[in-house]
Amino acid sequence: MNAPALSLRGDLFMGDTALIRDLALDMPAGGWSCLLGPSGVGKSTLGRLVAGLAGPHRLAGALVARDGAPLTGRVAMMAQEGQLLPWAGLVHNVTIGAHLRGQRPDTSRARQLLADVGLAGMEGRRPASLSGGQRQRVVLARTLMEDCPVVVLDEPFSALDAANRLMMQDLAARLLAGRTVLLITHDPLEALRLADRAWLLGPEGADALALPDAPPPRSYADPATLEMQARLLARLQAVQPA
């Protein structure tokens, strides 16, 4: 599997309204790129753009994979809403991509991924019987099941408690090693733990952020990470709308 570097240049629009001008993002092949910024700035819209999803958004510019191949069919996305089939068990939910493509689902791998995200023994349950955090872990397993070279994760751990969030971050870093990942988050510590490159988005573009020298996933207790977290929180507070 070849995970390409991605290059994005241009202005992001929602309909006729400009969201972000002068974007210049270079996402490394096989690494994690992270987008932070205030709500409504366009982070999720950029994720949908990379995933090739239709909508009122458009890029006046170019998004290209550096290997020269189209991105179509090579991107898996874990969206914020992460809708699950209410009538289906967890294995069916995790393997829905194969069902929709008319392929035979790999139920053994689906069960292993459910175990990896801490849901072993719950395979026959329906989504309504799960907590919000458990449902989010099912969606994560479904995204991992797609085994795509490019992965977009939009607030993938937002419903989890602090301990489970750290564990799922480490799991995603391990299982997505070698993939080109775009992570969208409001959590500065999450970005600092996982990112190879990170940007703070605003209407005038994307500001590259300094990251700790240690390779990801970084320890949440590392002094350098904690110091940068405090600085980043101050910057995020400063750009929040009044």
For the segment 178-216, what is each residue's pLDDT rounded down to a tens digit? 999 999 999 999 999 999 999 999 999 999 999 999 999
Mean pLDDT along residues 21-42: 96
| Residue 81 counted as domain residue | yes
Instruction: Label residue 50 by pLDDT band (50, 70, 90).
Output: very high
Q: What is the pLDDT of residue 6?
A: 98
Query: For the residues 38-47, what does the mean pLDDT come to?
Result: 94
- 91-121 in b/e form (b: 16+ CB < 10 A) is bbbbbbbbeeeeeebeeeebbebbebbbbee
Across 100-111, average pLDDT = 96
- pLDDT in the model for residue 134: 95
Query: What is residue 241's predicted lDDT score, i.e. its pLDDT?
Result: 64
Q: pLDDT tens digit string along 64-82?
A: 999 999 999 999 999 988 7
pLDDT higher than threshold 90 for residue 235: no
User: Does some domain include residue 30?
Assistant: no
Query: Is 237 a member of any domain?
Result: no
Q: Is residue 87 part of a domain?
A: yes
Give the domain range for residue 120: 76-147
Does some domain include residue 90?
Answer: yes
pTM for the full model? Answer: 0.95
The answer to whether residue 101 sits within a structural domain is: yes
**Residue 229 or residue 241, greater confidence:** 229
**pLDDT of 124-142, one tens digit each?**
999 999 999 999 999 999 9
Q: Would you place residue 242 in the very low, low, confident or very high pLDDT band (cuts 50, 70, 90)?
A: low
Average pLDDT over residues 103-129: 96
Domain count, the chain: 1
Is residue 149 pLDDT above 70, yes or no? yes
